[in-house]
Structure 1
Amino acid sequence: MGSFSSPHFVIFPFLSQGHTIPLLHLSRLLRRRSVVVTLFTTAGNSPRIRASLRDTDVSIIEIPFPQNIDGVPPGVENTDKLSVESSFLPFARATEQMRESFEEALETLQPPVSCVVSDSFLWWTAKSAQKIGVPRLGFFGTGNFSATMYQILGRFRPHAGVDSVDEPFPMTDFPEVKLTRNDFEPPFGDINPSGPFVDFMMENGFISMGMSDGLIVNSFYEMESRYVDYWNKNLGPKAWNIGPLCLAAKPLPESKSTGYLQWLDEKWEKKEPVLYVSFGTQAEISPEQFLEIAQGLEKSEVSFLWALKSKDLDFLEPEFESRVKGRGLVAKEWMDQLKILQHEGVKGFLSHCGWNSVIESISAGVPILAMPFMAEQHMNARFVAEEVGVGLRIMPRGGTVRGHVAAEEVEMKVRELMGGGKVAEEVSKTAAAWGGAAHAAMQEGGSSWRSLDLLIDGMMGKFTD
């Protein structure tokens, strides 16, 4: 790395847990490279962030979140607390009202700011960085495969000739990748997508991406090299793969006092492999679908640890826990997902395929049972099952990728992944191999390590490529 002194990176995560956590890991990574780090957030999000970074000297600045937003409940400063999907857009658009406070703070920071790293949903920060004359890097919370497929769809419209939402078509420049319109989050799979969210992404996401000096991607080059190379040659701006960022997390304490960890230890001692089940914080699961998942898990006769959101507990049959007692544990407390995935007794992950969960599972070498619900999760499920072979796909009824999943399908795929047969052995072996590659990428001299060095030099004006 170059001989410059005190580079200063400003980090501004979008106000959502899934978007914030990787950037907290990035803050740690940058501090280890002697970069000064200042992180921006709001008063409502600050306590959790301060607790996460309390063992570091990352500076945290709170700026006020706008009040009285139409469509957003009073006092909500994080999307995890939005009760309906329709609140997301007014919430995201309202963040622009933070711009003046953000820019005032940027002007006063010492040492002077070298670079702004901000979430792609905070599109207006690109203008703020431009105003003070520093580079801005957008943070992409998705992988390279997903981002590339969405860009190809929008630019080249390879789906224009298909009649059905379930009819496969080859992707431009990747003819071996066959997707359907249903693989894309509505309305983006439409021939001419329109609507408020499409407008938001076009006006803000893509314009600010074009104004940015690069993108930080929470992935590593070896796993997605074709898509990284394609993006950097044909799409842009440059994608810097410096992950898996979860491998920069604070080392986990050795204490095993937590109930669910004790339970995992007991299962491991008895040589009973455990399936971890979690669908993240954002996915909305219908009561009917929830019951099918519960029935499938119960009938599978596999040991499982199910992380449940408090509102989902209402859907669970009162007798469910007693029926699976000793084999299944329903956790109603906050759980450390990384620690669970790294537990030697956890041999599978039934997941919604949010990118954080995918990359954390791959880093831990744990195979995935993909059951996507929203956003780019269907694309991530394709990636898991078809691109890198680290898992299996749970499919809805009726030959579609989007729809209701039956209990029988859940039961069958859980047994297939956890039963120790040929398929299970293969995906477990592949997951373990990619887990090793992920760790190698983050170690000194690895691809992600080198990319971060080049990125820091580049933002300090020393990148010449």
Structure 2
Amino acid sequence: MERPHVLLVASPGLGHLIPILELGNRLSSVLNIRVTVLAVTSGSSSLTETGAIREVVARGTCEVTELPSVGIDHFVEPDATVFTRIIEKMRATKPVVEDAIKSMTQKPTVMIVDFLGTVMMSIADDVGMAKYVYVASHAWFLAVMVYLPILDRVVEGEYIDIKEPMKIPGCKPVGADDLMETMLDRSNRHYEECVRCGEEIPISDGVLVNTWEDLQGNTLAALREDREMSQVMKVPVYSIGPIIRSNRPTKKPNSIFEWLNKQRVRSVLYVCLGSGGTLSLKQTTELACGLEMSGQSFLWVLRRPTSYLGESSNNDDLVSDGLPEGFLDRTRGIGLVVTQWAPQVEILSHEAIGGFLSHCGWSSVLESLTKGVPIVAWPLYAEQWMNATLLTEEIGVAVRTMELPSKRVIGREEVASLVRKIMADENEEARKVRAKAEEVRVSSERAWTHGGSSHSSLLEWAERCCLLS
């Protein structure tokens, strides 16, 4: 007897593909079903050339097919944003996905797309598959997305000009500073695409979201039960998080872990602003000086300052040239600067790590929360601004800058103060945020125990899709 077959379609970019792959691995392992992932690529490089992708694919049991890239230059303006290009790439790739499905000997019964892939859902209708959306972010983000079409109708002018936070039924109100860039210019095509995504998510058969009941119970309840919101969000919402990359053993000597092994428990601040987290030369200098002023040990995965973006990307010396003169010498022993890719999940799992200065991408947030590591929020783009607000004002596991780092250079004194607020043993705020982070860690583990909220939610979804034997 053939196992049930589920199809996942991933939008271009590591930030979309890796969460879809991790979801596929979870579905395959927990439900013992066949999972096929169709990866829509940008065409710039093969998936197998990316170490992070190779690792996720090798560890899982999904069947991964890299789809041929489809040109979109005739459909987008030369200055189109990344968001618009991803949406158009998904739209242009629909015939390729249709052909891939037709060639399968065992037709899938369920299709899952991420929120940028809702244009693909008509394919599921055509071939008789159930269609679901996977939101690899949190429930508040989902609520704002599906309510955006309502805001589009009732709000006049640009959201950025509105002084008071905007009401989201049953949920935390959203301020202009929390919205993605794609929502801030209503004359731009990417805003239209964003509104369309918000309209299409509720016409799926349901939504899987990468959060859990203990973390966002009120928001999840609003999506399901609030009278006004339920008229917008008309389909079931399944909280199945946290779904993240799991630890992998370090097979060979690694200088990072050799250094961490010499540090005290919970004494090191991990600093990493994501694969796209490049700062200006001035901000890099201020961040470095702030780390030094804090007096705390740190491990910094340093990206090239934006002043050097035109230079060779393989020149590590050029990266460290962006640091203040003498910084590496003065911090030798208490700090380690790394200019290559670093295994983040394994680093956050190390007992020496006591805090994380992060760009607040949701995957990084979950990797930190599941290890009980509090966060200095340093949001840069996309929904990271919203994530930082959620972490500081609602969950209580983070501290943040007084203004968005995108609006001004964050000075060294503020950096040092923020670091001490989560790292200094004598700091009362640090003790509170650490305790909350540990509470969240425990709840994240409980969600995925047998009978836990996320485990049960996934089984409920699988039963509805007739995937359980």
Residue in 1 that maps onto 2:25:
28
Task: Give the residue type in structure 1 aligned to 2:263.
Answer: K
| Cα distance between partner residues in 2 of 1:172 and 1:311 | 37
Residue 456 (structure 1) aligned with residue 462 (structure 2): yes
CA contact (8 A) 1:213 1:238 kept: yes
Work out which of the residue numbers 133, 136, 139 in structure 2 matches 1:141: 136
Instruction: Call closer, same or farther: CA 1:116–1:161 in 2, change over 3 Å.
Output: closer
- Name the amino acid aligned to 2:208: I
Aligned mate of 1:119, from 114, 122, 137:
114
1:457 CA drift (Å): 1.6
The answer to whether structure 1 residue 381 and structure 2 residue 388 are counterparts is yes
Distance 1:166 1:183, change over 3 A: farther
Distance 2:322 2:74 in 1: 30
Partner of 2:191: 198
1:107–1:132 contact (8 Å) kept in structure 2:
no
AA of the residue aligned to 2:414: E
Q: Deviations over 1:147-201 (max 9, x none)?
A: 32454465258977999858444634458x46532222346357xx331210121
State the identity %: 27
Determine if the alignment matches structure 1 residue 63 to structure 2 residue 74.
no
In 2, Cα distance between the equivalents of 1:273 and 1:7? 47
Per-residue deviation at 1:285?
A: 2.9
Q: Contact (CA 8 Å) 2:290, 2:415: kept in 1 or not?
A: yes
Match of 2:299 in 1: 305
Question: CA deviation digits over 1:109-140, x for unaligned, max 9?
Answer: 23320111112112321111111110111121
CA distance in 2, matches of 1:55, 1:450: 24
What secondary structure is seen at the aligned counterpart in 1 of 2:93?
Answer: helix
Shift in CA distance, 196/145, structure 1 to aligned 2, threshold 3 Å: same
Moved more, 281-290 or 349-358: 281-290
- The one-letter amino acid of 1:296's match is G
Q: 1:259 aligns with which of 249, 255, 269?
A: 255
The alpha-carbon distance between structure 1 residues 429 and 395, as it changes in their structure 2 partners (threshold 3 A), is same
2:135–2:207 Cα contact (<8 Å) kept: yes
Give the structure 1 partner of residue 360 of structure 2.
353
Distance 1:435 1:329 in 2: 26
**Hey, what does 2:177 align to over in structure 1?**
182
From 82, 98, 102, the equivalent of 1:103 is 98
Runs of 5+ consecutive residues of structure 1 not aligned to the other structure: 73-83
Letter in 2 for 1:86: T
What TM-score do the two structures reach when normalised by structure 1? 0.85
Tell me which of 4, 7, 11 is aligned to 1:10: 7
* Residue aligned with 2:124, SS: helix
Conserved? CA contact 1:182–1:189, under 8 Å: no
- The one-letter code of the counterpart of 1:356 is S
Amino acid at match of 2:329: S
Q: Which residue of 1 aligns with 2:442?
A: 436
Structure 1 stretch displaced more, 6-15 or 52-61: 52-61
Give the direction of change, closer, same or farther, for the CA distance of 1:256–1:276 in structure 2 (3 Å limit): farther
Secondary structure of residue in 2 paired with 1:60: strand
Distance 2:75 2:156 in 1: 35
Q: Name the residue aligned to 2:309.
A: none
Instruction: Check whether the contact 1:218–1:244 (CA below 8 A) recurs between aligned residues.
Output: yes
Query: How big is the shift at 1:454?
Result: 1.3
Question: CA offset at residue 274 of structure 1?
Answer: 0.4
Stretch moving more, 28-37 or 229-238? 229-238
Partner of 1:132: 127
The aligned counterpart of 1:226 is 218
Q: Describe the superposition over 1:26-78 as per-residue Cα deviations: whole angstroms up to 9, x where unpaired.
A: 22211212110111124734314344222443212221012473699xxxxxx
Give the alignment partner of residue 205 of structure 2, picking from 213, 226, 229. Answer: 213
Query: Quick check: 1:427 aligned with 2:427?
Result: no
* Residue 375 of structure 2 corresponds to residue 365 of structure 1: no
Query: How far 1:303 moved relative to its partner?
Result: 0.7
Q: TM-score, normalised by structure 2?
A: 0.85
Deviations 1:207-239 (A, max 9, x none): 431331112211111110111111123232322
Compared CA separation, residues 387 and 126, structure 1 to 2 (3 A): same
Contact persistence 2:75–2:88 (CA under 8 A): no
Superposition deviation, residue 297 in structure 1: 1.1
* Cross-structure match for 2:311: none
Structure 2: which amino acid aligns with 1:396?
Answer: E
Number of aligned positions between the proteins: 440
Does structure 1 conserve the Cα–Cα contact (< 8 Å) formed by 2:162 and 2:176? yes
Matched residue, 1:412: 417
Against the structure 1 CA distance between its residues 186 and 36, is the aligned structure 2 distance closer, same or farther, given a 3 Å change threshold? closer
CA contact (8 A) 2:356 2:374 kept: yes
Q: Secondary structure of the residue that 1:285 maps to in structure 2?
A: coil
Amino acid at match of 2:15: G
Which AA in structure 1 matches 2:192?
Answer: D
How far residue 343 of structure 1 moved from its aligned partner, in angstroms, is 0.9
Aligned-partner SS, 1:280: coil
- 2:415 partner letter: V
For structure 1, which segment, 7-16 or 233-242, has the greater mean C-alpha deviation from structure 2 after superposition?
Answer: 233-242
Segments of 5+ residues of structure 2 without an aligned counterpart are: 307-318
- Residue pair 1:396, 1:404 contacting (<8 A) in 2 also: no
Q: Which residue of 2 aligns with 1:293?
A: 287
- Return structure 1 stretches of 4+ with deviation > 6 angstroms: 157-164
Structure 1 residues 55 and 323, CA gap change in structure 2 (3 angstroms): same
Work out the CA distance in 1 between the residues paired with 2:223 and 2:386: 16
Counterpart of 2:32 in 1: which secondary structure? coil
1:418–1:251 CA distance, 2 compared to 1 (3 A): closer
Deviations 1:63-113 (A, max 9, x none): 1012473699xxxxxxxxxxx983442343123222112111112323320
**Alpha-carbon distance in 2 for matches of 1:253, 1:428:** 26
CA gap 1:111/1:186 in 2 versus in 1, 3 angstroms: closer
Contact 1:384-1:390 at 8 Å conserved across structures = yes
* Partner Cα distance (1:125, 1:166) in 2: 34
Match of 1:394 in 2: 401
- Report the aligned-residue RMSD: 3.1
1:340 partnered with 2:347: yes
Q: Pick closer, same or farther for the CA change 1:318–1:136 going to 2, 3 Å.
A: farther
